[in-house]
Structure 1
């Protein structure tokens, strides 16, 4: 199983679009994929379920907030497997043996940082509790009920709170969607620095607090930066994008060759409802679907370079 977090400090850069369509195309290629929505805006969840359906079927018992609540003892034991749902419309468009499942988010997840910290004193007790919470998702993803999944994709909130940190600690790789503009690219280097600092701190804390003698060292890699919402001229990014794209490459981080073009009407449309763009056969701009499929191929190559070179 690969665990990949999709992350950027800045909202509105296409994190949810990338997560939903990568997951859908991987499932369409025969993989069993689990999507986890950690963003309290619940955009990924609402990509597959309408708000009324979420309120009636998921809100009270089938969201990731219930699992985070269980970490602080507010609920009985809850496993991630208890929360998995299978979006019907999306899976109806998947061919072959693949499957796309989801753990939904909750708007109340925005307050979880304060809730997890409540009642914990400063000092070593606080450090130990923070270490436990940061590593909880990684431990939970090793439940046997989740063994059948080939890929877990986590849609992270646009911040660096403890929920985001728990996703990073659980991940093998990170994907960073970004617009080719000043604000989106400015934060990439800062984000990468914070990820490195978090990983170093967590691995150091593991030597202090881990209950097993040989604790697995955390070392998530960067699968790549994917540029989104690109404006094209003659099928190439316009000149205004080039400088920001070059700045990102100069950081030494991998950048996916395929960039996703801007198409507000197509990506915003939820017709057919609950079906990501990459699974729709009838598109007014089929090149959008082709880009998503090519990005998926590059994504797999970046995760498995030895297989791609074979």
Structure 2
């Protein structure tokens, strides 16, 4: 099982769109895919379920917040496996034996950082508690109920809080959707540096607190940057966008050769729920083809895992 966090500090870059469509296309190719929505904005969850269904069926007992609450002892032991749900419309559009499942988010997840820290003293006790929380998701993903999945895609919040950090520590790779603009370019360099610092600190703490958890060195790689909402001229990115794309390549960060063009159908917030664009036949062919090409590139970055798919 490969675990990949989809992450960017900046909101509005198509992070959720990439997560939903990448997961759907992987499932359409026969993989068993689990999406985990860690963003309190709940956009990925609402891509598959309308707010009324979320309130009635998911909010109280079937979201990832319940698992984070259990880390504080607010609830009995909760496994990730018991939170998994299967979006019916999306799975009905899959061909072959693939499957697309989801662990939903909760609007209250935004308060979880403060809740996890409450009542913990400073110094050694605080460091140990933070180490436990940062590594808890990685440990929870070893739930036997999750073993059938080939791929776990985690939609992260647009920040670097402890929830995001727990996703990074749990991941084999990071995927970074970004717009070709100044703030996104600046943010990618900053994110890259913060990930390195977090990983170094966690690995040092793993040795320091070896009695808490068996040491397993964490080393998530960058699968690549996927540029989104690109404006084209003669089927090539306009000069302004190309300049920022080249700046990111100059950072030494892998960049996917395929970019996602600006598309009202793909990036609009009011698109129909339940079925990602890549699975819909009535969507313009270039948009679906770009999503499929990105999926192929993504798998190539994960070799040899991609070869097995």
TM-score with structure 2 setting the length: 0.97
Structure 1 residue 286 displacement after superposition = 1.1
Structure 1 residue 264 displacement after superposition = 2.0
Instruction: Write the distance in 2 (CA, Å) between the matches of 1:297 and 1:237.
Output: 21
What do residues 148-175 of structure 1 show as CA deviations (whole Å, max 9, x unaligned)?
0000000000000000000000000000
Counterpart in the other structure of 2:303:
304
Instruction: Write the distance in 1 (CA, Å) between the matches of 2:40 and 2:269.
Output: 21
Q: Secondary structure at the match of 1:61?
A: coil
Counterpart in the other structure of 1:124:
124
Instruction: Write the distance in 1 (CA, Å) between the matches of 2:10 and 2:22.
Output: 20
Counterpart in the other structure of 1:232:
232
Counterpart in the other structure of 1:143:
143
Q: Secondary structure at the match of 2:288?
A: helix
Gaps of 5+ in 2: none
Counterpart in the other structure of 2:66:
66
Aligned residue runs from structure 1 range 74-153, under 5 A = 74-153=74-153
Structure 1 residue 306 displacement after superposition = 8.6
Instruction: Write the distance in 2 (CA, Å) between the matches of 1:272 and 1:156.
Output: 22
Aligned residue runs from structure 1 range 282-301, under 5 A = 282-283=282-283, 285-301=284-300
Counterpart in the other structure of 1:241:
241
> Mean alpha-carbon deviation: is it higher for 256-265 or for 196-205?
256-265
Structure 1 residue 215 displacement after superposition = 1.3
Structure 1 residue 208 displacement after superposition = 1.1
Instruction: Write the distance in 1 (CA, Å) between the matches of 2:250 and 2:138.
Output: 31
Instruction: Write the distance in 2 (CA, Å) between the matches of 1:213 and 1:106.
Output: 28
Instruction: Write the distance in 2 (CA, Å) between the matches of 1:260 and 1:198.
Output: 30
Aligned residue runs from structure 1 range 17-32, under 5 A = 17-32=17-32
1:4 maps to 2:4: yes
Structure 1 residue 210 displacement after superposition = 2.7
Q: Secondary structure at the match of 2:227?
A: strand
Instruction: Write the distance in 2 (CA, Å) between the matches of 1:288 and 1:213.
Output: 45
Q: Determine if contact 1:5/1:174 at 8 Å carries over to the other structure.
A: yes
**CA pair 269-213 structure 1, distance change in 2 beyond 3 A:** closer
Structure 1 residue 137 displacement after superposition = 0.1
Instruction: Write the distance in 2 (CA, Å) between the matches of 1:61 and 1:242.
Output: 46
Structure 1 residue 273 displacement after superposition = 3.0
Structure 1 residue 266 displacement after superposition = 4.0
Counterpart in the other structure of 2:185:
185
Q: Secondary structure at the match of 1:205?
A: helix
Counterpart in the other structure of 2:160:
160
Q: Determine if contact 1:267/1:277 at 8 Å carries over to the other structure.
A: no
**CA pair 97-4 structure 1, distance change in 2 beyond 3 A:** same
Q: Secondary structure at the match of 2:178?
A: strand
Instruction: Write the distance in 2 (CA, Å) between the matches of 1:289 and 1:215.
Output: 42
Paired residues, number: 307
Instruction: Write the distance in 2 (CA, Å) between the matches of 1:143 and 1:126.
Output: 26
Q: Determine if contact 1:47/1:270 at 8 Å carries over to the other structure.
A: no
Instruction: Write the distance in 2 (CA, Å) between the matches of 1:239 and 1:194.
Output: 30
